[in-house]
Amino acid sequence: MQRHLFILTGASRGMGLAMAEQLLAQQNHLLCISRHANPSLASVAAQRNCPLAQWTLDLSQPEPAALRLKTWLDERDPAQILSATLINNAGVIPTIAPLRASGPAELAAAMRVNLEAPMLLTAAFLDATQGWRAPRRVLNISSGLGRRPMASQAAYCAAKAGMDHFTRCLALDEARLPNGAKVCSLAPGVIDTDMQVQLRGADSANFPDQSGFAELKSSGQLSAASDAAKRVLAWLARPDFGQQAVADVHASA
């Protein structure tokens, strides 16, 4: 049976879990890459007759993950794939503090998860699928913090800005190919996830914007993860997906 192939990182919680749940359909084949497997996904996948694989990998060590993905994709039968999509969703926020107070190991791990891993996985995905005739897409989940600076968030802001710009470069590469992938770095808006809990729970002495994040919650401005996932997947399904290399889910075009 021909299916649409989706590869999704960070699928064990938050918006990633919501996207995974919404992608579990008979016409799809889903590969999730996260630090932890989610048992509920397996049961839903069985109910919906959707092939599901869950790899438990630490993306702060992205090289093994990229090599494993390349090998796995090389083993697929392209004739059975209607389309192939990589969604780089996994992300972490290091300790919320000025850069001078950030430990080198934690900074390095954050940059690997937030920027290195998406680049390595994207390279592996595009290399393995370059001969496929099926449409290919890469969706990078970015953030408004990649487009505006924020105190005590240097690593996260820099990684998301890097994600935006590597996506712009990637779009130029793929536009030169006859079946180049469509790519987009998409900001999904503010979502009620564990990351928001970290931000509004931070020490205001170290994080001047703490009160603003607390206000987002108290005023009901945060999107539910399931709603955000619907908007992101709707953007992915747009016929003009990829015409904008960097976009915001709330933009109309």
Q: Which of 57, 66, 21 is nearest to 37 (CA)?
A: 57
Q: At residue 235, what is the residue type?
A: W
Q: Is 253 helix (H, G, I), strand (E, B) or coil?
A: coil
Cα–Cα separations (whole angstroms), residue 202 to 45, 130, 189, 212, 224: 37, 44, 20, 11, 21
A 10 A CB-CB count for 18 gives 22
Distance CA 29, CA 53 (A): 8
DSSP state of 216: H
A 10 A CB-CB count for 224 gives 13
Going across the sheet that includes 28-34, the strands are 52-56, 28-34, 3-9, 81-88, 136-141, 182-187, 246-248
Q: Residue 216 CA to chain centroid, in angstroms?
A: 23
Which of 6, 156, 213, 241 is the catalytic position?
156
Residue 156 annotated among the catalytic residues of the structure: yes
Residue burial 26-35, b: 16+ Cβ < 10 Å; e: rest: eebbbbbbbe
Say if CB 77 and CB 71 are below 8 A apart: no
Distance CA 245, CA 253 (A): 12
Distance CA 221, CA 78 (A): 43
Residues tagged active-site: 156
